[in-house]
Amino acid sequence: TSSGSGGGGVRFELEKETELRFEVEAGEKVQLELLSGLAEVFGSELNRNKKYTFGPGSKIAVFTWQGCSVSLTGKTEVAYVSKDTPMLLYLNTHAALEQMRQQAERDNERGPRVMVVGPTDVGKSTVCRLLLSYAVRLGRRPTLVELDVGQSAVSVPGTVSALCIERPADVEEGFSVQAPLVFHFGSTTPGTNIKLYNKLTSSLAEVFSQRCEVNRKASVGGCIINTCGWVKGSGYQALVHCASAFEVDVVLVLDQERLYNELKRDLPHFVKVVLLPKSGGVVERSKDCRREARDEKIREYFYGFRGVSFYPHAFDVRFSDVRIYKIGAPSIPDSCLPLGMSQDDTQLKLVPVTPGRDLTHHVLSVSCMEDEAEAGAGGTSGPRRGVLESPVCGFIVVTAVDTQAQVMTVLSPAPRPLPRHTLLIMDIRFIDLK
């Protein structure tokens, strides 16, 4: 299928309903060009004779419904054409969801709320992107709900978020992220604080439902929920919780029959649980690879991406000007809990953090909560309403701590002063090498 060179690259002729899969080598770039026919990358159409550039480590599939020829220039780790793809099943899934939207429009009801589940590396995020891009190409306005705290497509790791999708994903850059709703979770796995994770899921569901009440397009568009790959024990319970919080209508289970059977058993009968195969093209990513992707996501937040450079600011923040919290006290044996307190309370507790050297390199979320609101709250020991329910307005990284002078230096996307003064500490660290 690959032959000769087209414009310096390797040319591939794709028959209809096949895909070209390639991976970009570390430290390299690869250019993709559509020479003739029609093709798409994860649901976004390619323009002819435009060069698309993919950075190191990218794993891409160029799919064609009609047949096409494309060329690749640059060092690929692998590049091959596959006839065996589940794209037709994915397209049928999209068609079924679109029917539900049409029906919702007719009957003045709400559109489909879809949860995509499965173990890690089965292509969950890719399926979400595909379904969202197909929907928006038909003029729908679906919402992406990102619950994967390890690999978020919307914000930095350690967060959950919702994003209204208004145009198909950019072939190179993914969805344009404007005004997402982001909540602080603080670590890359839900297991660190499952109570908080479930609570944030509920908060997102509530905000989404409120939006649907006032915005008909959002309601009809429905949502596509991307979840974590942790599908056992509390991870499984978190999926069941999410299904109920969002009142999902459809669950797409990728590649795991056991999970499919469990969800069929445990979810109400009116929820359609569908088992879909994963694509043979999905590549397993190593732990390091995942960590790098997370790091890159934070770097992008501060420094920008591709053509767009951001210039972050560094400035000092006095300890006395901010309040730093960690969410969740370490769990203690039930027998040691004060009377009337449960483990749940400790997991949702705001624990004040005294700034020290160990704060260095930590990512902090800047809570949107009004500073005044907090001043009214009770002492540091009481449960503070508001912080957990408040979205995040941005992130900073602590680059240095001077305990003597009682100040810390931070990296911030905006110049001083900080917009708000309640900061939430993440387990996640970022070492700024710039």
Q: Which of 21, 110, 199, 384 binds ligand ADP (CB under 6 A)?
A: 21
Residue 126 binds ligand ADP, judged by CB under 6 A: yes
String marking each residue 355-394 x if it binds ligand ADP according to CB under 6 A? ----------------------------------------
180 near ligand ADP (CB under 6 A) = no
Measured from the CB atom, the residue of 80 and 310 that comes closer to ligand ADP is 80
Chosen residue from 94, 124, 297, 420 binding ligand ADP by CB under 6 A: 124
Task: Tell which residue, 191, 186, 192, has the closest CA to residue 159.
Answer: 186
Residue carrying the six token digits 């198909």: 168
- Smallest separation, CB 90 to ligand ADP (Å): 10
State the nearest-atom distance from the C-beta of 223 to ligand ADP, in Å: 17
297 counts as binding ligand ADP under rule CB under 6 A: no
CA-closest candidate to residue 138, choices 177, 104, 167, 170: 167
Out of 68, 122, 165, 169, the only residue in the binding site for ligand ADP (CB under 6 A) is: 122
Contact 351, 424 (CB under 8 A): no
Site string for ligand ADP, 251-290 (x = CB under 6 A): ----------------------------x-xxx-------
* Alpha-carbon span 236 to 25, nearest angstrom: 35
120 binds ligand ADP (CB under 6 A): yes
- With CB atoms as reference, the residue minimizing the distance to ligand ADP is 281
DSSP assignment of 27-88: T--EEEEEEEE--EETTEEPPBT-EEEE-TT-EEEEEESS-EEEEEEE-EEEEEEES--THH
Using CA of residue 150, residue 141, residue 260, residue 281, what is the dihedral sign?
A: negative
Write the CA distances from 358 to 79, 317, 361, integer angstroms: 45, 16, 8
CA distance 207 to 424: 21
For residue 242, give the amino acid letter. Answer: C
Q: Does 30 bind ligand ADP (CB under 6 A)?
A: no
Which one of 28-36, 69-77, 114-122, 230-238 is the stretch in contact with ligand ADP (CB under 6 A)?
114-122
**For ligand ADP, the closer CB: 123 or 391:** 123
Out of 43, 123, 158, 180, the residue judged to bind ligand ADP by CB under 6 A: 123
**Residue 222 makes contact with ligand ADP by CB under 6 A:** no
Among 59, 137, 264, 299, binds ligand ADP (CB under 6 A): 59
Residues 85-104 that bind ligand ADP (CB under 6 A): none
Peptide bond into 56 cis (omega under 30): no
Stretch that binds ligand ADP, among 119-127, 157-165, 180-188, 233-241 (CB under 6 A): 119-127
DSSP H or E stretch at residue 364: strand 362-367
Determine the size of the site formed for ligand ADP (CB under 6 A).
15
**Is residue 77 a contact residue for ligand ADP (CB under 6 A)?**
no
Question: Does the footprint of ligand ADP cover residue 130 (CB under 6 A)?
Answer: no
User: Structure tokens of 417?
Assistant: 């002063």
Q: Is 121 in the site for ligand ADP (CB under 6 A)?
A: yes
Kindly state the smallest distance separating residue 59's Cβ from ligand ADP, in Å.
4
Taking the C-alpha atoms of residue 179 and residue 275, their distance in angstroms, rounded to an integer, is 33
Contact 324, 398 (CB under 8 A): no
Of 41 and 366, the one with the shorter C-beta distance to ligand ADP is 41
**Contact (CB, 8 A) for 217 and 101:** no
Separation CA 376–CA 397 (nearest Å):
28
CA distance 379 to 176: 41
User: Taking CB under 6 A as the rule, does residue 20 contact ligand ADP?
Assistant: no
The residues of the shown chain that bind ligand ADP, judged by CB under 6 A, are: 21, 59, 61, 120-126, 229, 279, 281-283
